[in-house]
Structure formats: C-alpha cells, structure tokens
Structure 1
Amino acid sequence: MSRLHLFDLDGTLIHGSAAAVEISRQLGLEPEIAELERAFAEGRLTPPRFAELAVQLWAELTEAQVTAAFEGAPWLAGIRDVWARIRERGERCAVISLSPGFFVERLLDWGADAAHGSLWPAVPFREPLDPAGILDASAKVRIADGLCERFGLSRADCVAYGDSMSDALLFAAVPMSVAVNADHHVRDIASHAYNGRDLREAYELVGARA
C-alpha cells in the first residue's frame, strides 16, 4: 500500500520562521513583515490581502535575494533523507504551502514529488498579483485531492504534517497527521505530535506504519 505524505512549509519544514520572514530578512524588512504576520495570525488579514501588502513591501526583491532567503532559512534537519526514504518505500511526498510558489517550488530539487504554493508574479515583480492565485486553508485540501488523483491514491492514504491553523482542515480530512512544533489548532487534533528540529524524528512517528 502506498501513501502520500503532505508537508506544510512555514513553521513546519522551516523551524520557527516562514518564507515571508526569511525573504524580508534579506531586504531588512523584518519589523514590517512581523506586523503583517501578526495581523494574518489574528485574522485581520486574509491570505490575498497579506500577499498584496507583501508584494508592495518586496517591490525591490531580486532572484538572488530569494535564493539567499531559501538557503539561509532554518530548515529542519533530515528533510532530504526523509523524502528519499519515502520514495524508496514506493510512497510519495509533497509540499503544500500558502507561501509564494517561487519559494516553495525550490523544494522539488530536494526530492519532493510535488510542491504547491500561492501563485505570485515572477521575481522581480513586474506584473500585478492576482488574488485568485493565493491559496488558503481549504485550498490545501483541494490540492491534496488533486495529488491523490494524480498518484492513484485517496485521502485514506495520506499523512499530513503541519503546525498551525492553516493546516487544520487538512488534518481533519486525512486519517493520520503529525503536529510539528505546533500550536493548539492542530496539536489537539493530530494523530501524533513532535517538538524538535529533525524531520527524521517526526517521520519515525508514522514512517514504519502500514
């Protein structure tokens, strides 16, 4: 029996941080993005509005800065190892994140079978942002369903890994889940919980289970 492992990015694969924070750090805009992140977490900003404000904030963003943000992010240890083990077992792994696709899709080079993020304009920004391309929590379930169809699986074959409220709908939709350094929104409904900085340890909670 094959399975599909679905990973969140911000706060899950990246420990204690997020793509937006790491990008803003490269631009010297940490206080500004912290305010946006706080407003989003408190429900004062929708995902499209957050993205619209971030595009304005990152008006001078370059591809080199995106690369530096990605390479310098505080990633959990063992991500490539876990994904290699998953694929060696004949299983699949994917990343689904509300963060910009131009950041998330870089994880394909690390061994993910699929990587889905919000649709942002290309860097440097010359085109307007389309709010319809910005993902929300419900989109994670929709994308997971599409991946199941692509790989010939069902929700019953899925394992979700996440840390916050944006993962709660996906956790509720699949039979097995791992709360990774998580808040109560998903810790209280997860099959397993992990605190630490090594994805191999989180994976071991479900990796050997049929």
Structure 2
Amino acid sequence: MSRLHLFDMDGTLMHGSAAAIEISRQLGVEPEIAELERAFAARELDPPRFAELACELWRELTEEHITAAFDGAPWMAGIRDVWAEIRARGERCAVISLSPGFFVERLLTWGADAAHGSLWPTVPFRDPVDPAGILDAGAKVRIADELCAEFGLTRADCVAYGDSMSDSQLFSAVPVSVAVNADHHVRDIAVHAYTGRDLREAYELVGAAS
C-alpha cells in the first residue's frame, strides 16, 4: 500500500523558526515580524492580513535575501534522508505550508514530490497581496485531497506531520499524524509525538507502528 506523507514547514521541518522570521532576519526587521507572529498566534490577524503587513515590512526583499534566509534556516536534520526513504518505498511526500510559496517551493530540490505555499506577489514586491492566494488551515486539507487525487490515494493513505494550530484540521482529517516539537493544539490530537531535531527519528515513529 502506498502512502502520502504531508509535512508542515514552519516549526516542523524548520526547528523553532519560520520562513517569515528567517526572511525578516535578513532584512533587519525581526522585532516587527515577532509582533506580527504574536498577533497571528493570538488570532488577532488572519493569514491574508498577516501577509499584507509582512509585505509592507519586506519592500526591499530580493531573491538574494530569500536564498540567504533559506540556506541559513535551522532545518531539522535528516530531511533529505527521510524523503529519499519515502520515495524508495514507492510512497510520496509533500510540503504544505501557509508561508510564501517562493520559499516553500525551494524544498522541491530536496526531494519532495510537491510543495505548496501561499501565493505572494513576485519579488521584488510591486503588486498587492491577493487574499485568495493566501492559504489557511482549511486549505491544507483541500490541498491534501488534491494531492491524493493526483497520486491515486485517499485520506486513509495519508500521514501528517505538524506542530501548531494550522495543522489541527489536517490532523483531524487523516488517520496517522505526528506532532513534531508541537504545541497542545496538535500534540493532544496526534497519534505520535516527537521532540528533537532529527526528522529521521520522527519518521521512525510512523515506521515502527506500520
């Protein structure tokens, strides 16, 4: 039986950080993005509004900044190894994140079969954010369903890996889930839980239960 492994990025594949934080570090606006992150976690901002405000902070953003942010991010150990193992087993792996697609899609070069993020304006930003292109928690389930259809699978064949409230709907929709360095929103509903910095160990929880 084939499976589809669905990975969140911020806080899951990236330990203790997020694309927005790493990009803001390159631009010297860490305190400002920290306030937006706090407001988003408190549900004072929805995803489109967060994106709009972040775009205003990142008006000087270039591809060079994005590359530096991606390369310098605190990625979990073993990501490429896990995805290579998944694909060697004839299974699929994908990343679904609320973060900008221009950051998330770089993970395709690491071996993901698919990578989906929010649709932000082209860098450097000249156009406004289109709210319709910004993903939310429900979009993760919708994209998972689309990937299942593409790969000839169903929700019953899915494994979800995540860390926070934005993963809770997906965790509730699939039979197997792994809370990775997670908060209570997903830790309390996950099938497995992992704390650490090596994705191979989190993945082994799923293999050990197979």
TM-score, structure 1 normalization: 0.99
Trace 1:62-141 onto structure 2 (pairs within 5 A): 62-141=62-141
User: Residue 52 of structure 1 aligns to which amino acid in structure 2?
Assistant: E
Deviation at 1:186, TM superposition (A): 0.2
Deviations 1:16-48 (A, max 9, x none): 000000000000000000000000000000000
Deviation at 1:209, TM superposition (A): 4.4
In structure 1, C-alpha distance between the alignment counterparts of 2:49 and 2:77, rounded to whole Å: 32
Structure 1 runs (4+) deviating above 3 angstroms are: none
In structure 2, C-alpha distance between the alignment counterparts of 1:68 and 1:51, rounded to whole Å: 20
* Corresponding position of 2:34: 34
Q: Match of 2:206, SS?
A: coil
Deviation at 1:126, TM superposition (A): 1.7
Trace 1:168-187 onto structure 2 (pairs within 5 A): 168-187=168-187
Trace 1:198-209 onto structure 2 (pairs within 5 A): 198-209=198-209
Counterpart check, 1:167 vs 2:167 = yes
Report the RMSD for the aligned CA atoms in angstroms: 0.7
Deviations 1:124-182 (A, max 9, x none): 11222101100000000000000000000000000000000000000000000000000
In structure 2, C-alpha distance between the alignment counterparts of 1:132 and 1:84, rounded to whole Å: 33
Gaps of 5+ in 1: none
In structure 2, C-alpha distance between the alignment counterparts of 1:26 and 1:41, rounded to whole Å: 22
User: Residue 41 of structure 1 aligns to which amino acid in structure 2?
Assistant: A
In structure 1, C-alpha distance between the alignment counterparts of 2:134 and 2:17, rounded to whole Å: 20
Deviation at 1:102, TM superposition (A): 0.1
Deviates more, 1:166-175 or 1:117-126: 117-126
* Corresponding position of 1:56: 56
* Corresponding position of 1:7: 7
How many residue pairs align between the two structures? 210
User: Residue 44 of structure 2 aligns to which amino acid in structure 1?
Assistant: R
User: Residue 48 of structure 1 aligns to which amino acid in structure 2?
Assistant: P
In structure 2, C-alpha distance between the alignment counterparts of 1:202 and 1:122, rounded to whole Å: 34
CA contact (8 A) 2:24 2:58 kept: yes
In structure 1, C-alpha distance between the alignment counterparts of 2:14 and 2:32, rounded to whole Å: 20
Identity %: 83
Q: Match of 2:105, SS?
A: helix
* Corresponding position of 2:153: 153
User: Residue 204 of structure 2 aligns to which amino acid in structure 1?
Assistant: E
User: Residue 77 of structure 1 aligns to which amino acid in structure 2?
Assistant: A
User: Residue 170 of structure 2 aligns to which amino acid in structure 1?
Assistant: L
Q: Match of 1:65, SS?
A: helix
Deviation at 1:122, TM superposition (A): 1.1
Deviation at 1:207, TM superposition (A): 2.5
Q: Match of 1:2, SS?
A: coil
CA contact (8 A) 2:161 2:178 kept: yes
CA contact (8 A) 2:171 2:189 kept: yes
User: Residue 85 of structure 2 aligns to which amino acid in structure 1?
Assistant: R
TM-score, structure 2 normalization: 0.99
